[in-house]
Homo-oligomer: A and B are copies of this chain.
């Protein structure tokens, strides 16, 4: 059986990503993938889920036997022309002209469409959606800040015991300029402490306030297909303790932001959780402390 078209196009992006994520070629690769996803999903039916998430409606795509993960009905808008509009805005550097809610819908639709397709093509493949989401976020982030990310850093060598540490995406804008530490995950669930732990490690190696931790996450939904139910797994009280006792994160961005985390914005300790679309407006005003 030939590898499914969407996998073939993903393979091409994966190859390109080895060369660089901040390149016009990536726009074409991501466009190819998104077009194929829209065609694949466009012919499928939708089935609404019972949602235990307040004020959010979710559905799944199905071919009759297989089902995708949950998709936020209010954020999902598979209008290809919106992505063309975003491409134009990126070319002319006028992304601020796009309403942030509209931008949220474009980014969410593109990311979740790929995940939904893989769910339907090969449910057992838990790795590819996460890899795609990493390239996807790094592509937009790299475009916005104008530098290639790196995925390892030099470690101070004393007895030659270490040389480099593999990291999440690091965007270094240059000497005395902003440096972003950007873990990218589909969800965190009970593993969220890893975001703070990696920040703590960078703080330890390079000093506090050197890197701004700004993770980007897709969603915290959990889909129960047999029960046709969707829920959100959120542990806001634990997040507060991580922010107090492990390390400080500057922002946590979501494509489908969970309300219990958004509420942390008004709470102590300071912990700002926002839609990823906000990053494109505020990135140049963020400071480490």
Known contacts A191-B194, A193-B194, A194-B191; A201/B162 CB under 8 A: no
Contact with B along A175-215 (1 / 0, CB 8 A): 00000000000000001011011101100110000000000
Q: Does A282 contact B (CB under 8 A)?
A: no
Bound state CA distance, A205 and B242, in angstroms?
Answer: 10
On chain B, the residues within 8 Å of A267 by CB distance are 161
Contact with B along A229-271 (1 / 0, CB 8 A): 0000000011011101110000000000000000000011000
Q: Are B201 and A241 in contact (CB under 8 A)?
A: yes
CB distance from A10 to the nearest CB of B (A): 21
Q: Does A174 contact B (CB under 8 A)?
A: no
Q: Are B162 and A246 in contact (CB under 8 A)?
A: no
Bound state CA distance, A203 and B155, in angstroms?
Answer: 25
Q: Are A162 and B241 in contact (CB under 8 A)?
A: yes
The oligomer's copy count stands at 2
Q: Can you offer 23 A-B residue contacts whose CB atoms are under 8 A?
A: A155-B241, A159-B268, A161-B240, A161-B267, A161-B268, A162-B240, A165-B238, A165-B241, A166-B238, A191-B191, A193-B198, A194-B194, A194-B197, A196-B197, A197-B200, A200-B200, A201-B241, A201-B242, A201-B246, A204-B244, A204-B246, A205-B241, A205-B245
Which residues on A are within 8 Å of B, measured CB to CB?
155, 159, 161-162, 165-166, 191, 193-194, 196-198, 200-201, 204-205, 237-238, 240-242, 244-246, 267-268
